[in-house]
Structure 1
């Protein structure tokens, strides 16, 4: 178990096995970033030519390991590039890169810029997220070594001159809460799909909720979190046709999970809706085999809204949050939904199914209508929804669509969280395209090649009843093939930090 502490010691005198400083990229040579001044002073005039001889530039993502040979009290200096300027986004990424590079060391000191609570939070979050590893399914290797063991430092110190100040300590603790929530989402996304089918996923959320209550059940003003689960019989009886239709091909039935946080005195109510397709084969409109193993990540939206809600509750932010995780497994089976079927969504709207691989919008439609019954002030849904959004924005940027004001809030929250997003339109023509079915109220898809991600957003908009709403399509950044900055390979937990920052903003406004 790694311990994390704040300290105001000099990085040149700390006896940690590894000390980390930042470098800012310059026109002709890198400059030592704030926090590393004592290290630069200890090296003196030798530092610049040494960096030049090693080809160190300070560019973002660059990591250089240098033996100090007694120049510092620490035996190893780790230099991490911040790019052209110091920002919280650059700090998260640099700290994450340092976490992956600093192995086989018992202790580590982070002397990155930490002159404000925001910087302390970024450095702490970045390191914690960069150090994440999913080892639940690893055992003993051929050499007899326990592959589940962690070679990360057991003692990590964040160095800052403000280590004793309350705002700094609060930022440090908040960072640990948010990073733990992101790790929970990553764990769920990385779990093999056969072990996290809808009933198991629902139980995992119930366990997370009960564990939260146990951990925080002390003193007055304890945050309260409630969990409600609808099983297949309740879903069928209450008319959740989207969930039932998507889950028909699986031997494991769908679930709808509600997680509620109602702080005393809250005046703003946020509803979160997450797509929880625990595995997506495409149904009868089957996907190509290549890459299908990554379809275990199709529940990343549900993982994000649940984990974010737990983090908001742990931080005791004064905003009411209700999260709905719509869980189903999209499989082939003798009773699977067929292209051409008509499904009645919760609330009564009918949808003609034309592509069973466009299942996410069906379960989200049910959950969006249900979320609206609580009369929230704004609604945000998070989903790995369309390949079209990946084509448009790549695999690191999420698309944000919806009402202009809510989209602006989401964008600002994403910037503060260090997660990349970009606003996308819902053209007026989409209003008519979703109504092209000749047999139902709405067409699930229309097979027009262009603008598929925008069509999906327009479809979802039909179920928000005019409430302030934003749709976050995380099909690209939810799952990565390689690590970068503080983002590890596999499940990334994208969206958790953005949603927490969104609630921070709502709390500040209240």
Structure 2
């Protein structure tokens, strides 16, 4: 993981005259009468003779979202080039949102690949959005390339929102950088190929992160899982020669106000098992541990930001493979805690490992439980590739969905219809792992998980099947591959709980 070096900078004309940046990034807005310059561009515009907007219009720039237009400074500034990046249209209140800044900063960071040093004034519009967008947009995963090409921009000077810098600005820069770097931890895990990232190696990487952050960690191997009765994790994971693990990482904040359980699905590769998937696009199933990556990164972040909370990430890890030892359709598994599940489809494996993990997480008596997973293709059918489905306790569900949208990661509250519970009835066991219907698959999976939530525990399930992995071209601050969703949502939820309970 290579991250640009970030530092606060003054945004005055005097400071610009001495900048060491090769490129200066400014924001443009798509106004009703054409392109407008965004906040923070006054000093740059003055140095260029006050004609920046007119020149950009002459070049065909409109200020539309993520548009990047290059403007030579003709020796009027030490930097040779200005990158004018579009923020798009103002919202109904006439404001530019943090997410607009984040996406613009990401687009600029991608365009800055190979640059030694840049100065961004997007931070004058929103400091957090500019920093997060810059770090996330600059991200590339080149570990397996023999010729990785140009690296990300090496150093970015972040213009302070006002003249001079303050302790508040420095604190905001530090926090935003920590959040973005935690997203990159998740992205690195997701993008690591499954021959190198499997249950035991994931556990090893979790231990390194935990040790570096001074966190507690517990790892259960297949023998401990059998001894303790984790039937779901074992059922899914024993079809592979690379046997399952359960990892628990705990951060105990000083004067912790609340206790939070995080649970993330960690299927390091999913063939579908005996109910094997089609070959087309199966390679994308390297991302089926995105939930595990997100909750691991989130507990590390909680420690970095010193949230006054106790946070434990419970991470079930398995590889779902077809073999002579694989579980079968028709098997009955005894889950951790004693409930039994008839397996009707071995490709509905995520809910089985999550059920074990959620029951174990509830034994800590948390105040809230947040679970996230690449659980169902039905999420993509219902909500597309960028909007997570959010289910769970009504009040907490709505709170988390609202926070997800505010962070720019996206989330939509979905119901858990009572009539779907009857479709999970089994002739052999307490319940089946799928219904007999093709309809409402995302909701049915949530109803299944609800069976393993402790009574009166506020909980939420975030289905990130689409948002966790970008199979199309880069956009905003999101490149191809793992996205790190919903690390920023979880961070914002933890901050909200710390502040409001």
TM range (shorter): over 0.9
The residue number in structure 1 matching 2:5 is 3
1:143-164 deviation digits (Å, cap 9, x = unpaired): xxxx246433322100012652
1:107-152 deviation digits (Å, cap 9, x = unpaired): 100011426xxx212211110010011111111xxxxxxx246433
1:232-284 deviation digits (Å, cap 9, x = unpaired): 01101111000000012100110000011111221211100000000000001
Verify: 1:235 aligned to 2:235, yes or no: no
- CA change 1:389–1:149 in 2 (3 A) is same
Q: CA deviation at 1:426?
A: 1.1
Aligned partners of 1:322, 1:212: CA distance in 2, in Å?
14
Verify: 1:125 aligned to 2:132, yes or no: yes
Alignment of 1:28-39 (within 5 A): 28-39=33-44
1:280-321 deviation digits (Å, cap 9, x = unpaired): 000010001110111010000000001010001111010111
Structure 2 length-normalised TM = 0.95
Q: Is the 8 A contact 2:184 2:484 kept in 1?
A: yes
Verify: 1:106 aligned to 2:78, yes or no: no
Aligned partners of 1:171, 1:478: CA distance in 2, in Å?
26
Alignment of 1:52-71 (within 5 A): 52-71=57-76
Aligned partners of 2:123, 2:265: CA distance in 1, in Å?
37
Q: Is the 8 A contact 1:193 1:278 kept in 2?
A: yes
Q: CA deviation at 1:362?
A: 0.2
Find the partner of 1:388 among 378, 396, 401. 378
Structure 1 length-normalised TM = 0.93
Find the partner of 1:470 among 460, 467, 474. 460
The residue number in structure 2 matching 1:221 is none
The residue number in structure 2 matching 1:137 is 144
Q: In the comparison of the two structures, how many residue pairs are matched?
A: 488
The residue number in structure 2 matching 1:78 is 83
Q: Is 73-82 or 147-156 further displaced after alignment?
A: 147-156
Q: Is 197-206 or 413-422 further displaced after alignment?
A: 413-422
Q: Is the 8 A contact 2:470 2:482 kept in 1?
A: yes
Aligned partners of 2:212, 2:219: CA distance in 1, in Å?
16
Q: Is the 8 A contact 1:248 1:333 kept in 2?
A: no
Find the partner of 1:278 among 259, 268, 285. 268
Aligned partners of 1:113, 1:134: CA distance in 2, in Å?
26
Q: Is the 8 A contact 1:34 1:113 kept in 2?
A: no
Secondary structure of the corresponding residue to residue 381 of structure 1: strand
Q: Which runs of 5+ in 2 are unaligned?
A: 91-95
Secondary structure of the corresponding residue to residue 462 of structure 2: strand
Alignment of 1:319-468 (within 5 A): 319-434=309-424, 436-466=425-455, 467-468=457-458
Q: Is the 8 A contact 2:295 2:313 kept in 1?
A: yes
Q: CA deviation at 1:180?
A: 1.3
Q: Which runs of 5+ in 1 are unaligned?
A: 140-146, 214-224
Aligned partners of 2:398, 2:76: CA distance in 1, in Å?
49
The residue number in structure 1 matching 2:153 is 153
Q: Is the 8 A contact 1:394 1:476 kept in 2?
A: yes
The residue number in structure 1 matching 2:93 is none
Q: Is the 8 A contact 1:107 1:154 kept in 2?
A: yes
Aligned partners of 1:164, 1:346: CA distance in 2, in Å?
53
The residue number in structure 2 matching 1:169 is 170
The residue number in structure 1 matching 2:300 is 310
- CA change 1:41–1:162 in 2 (3 A) is closer
Aligned partners of 1:40, 1:454: CA distance in 2, in Å?
53
The residue number in structure 2 matching 1:216 is none
Q: CA deviation at 1:103?
A: 2.6
Q: Is the 8 A contact 2:103 2:133 kept in 1?
A: yes
1:360-382 deviation digits (Å, cap 9, x = unpaired): 00000000000010010111100
Q: Is the 8 A contact 1:63 1:79 kept in 2?
A: yes
Q: CA deviation at 1:43?
A: 3.7
Secondary structure of the corresponding residue to residue 194 of structure 1: coil
Post-superposition, which runs of at least 4 consecutive aligned residues in structure 1 deviate over 4 A? Answer: none
Q: Is the 8 A contact 1:280 1:296 kept in 2?
A: yes
Aligned partners of 2:345, 2:153: CA distance in 1, in Å?
49
Secondary structure of the corresponding residue to residue 51 of structure 2: helix
Q: Is the 8 A contact 1:199 1:252 kept in 2?
A: yes
Aligned partners of 1:8, 1:408: CA distance in 2, in Å?
40
The residue number in structure 2 matching 1:24 is 29
The residue number in structure 2 matching 1:217 is none
The residue number in structure 2 matching 1:206 is 207
Alignment of 1:283-294 (within 5 A): 283-294=273-284
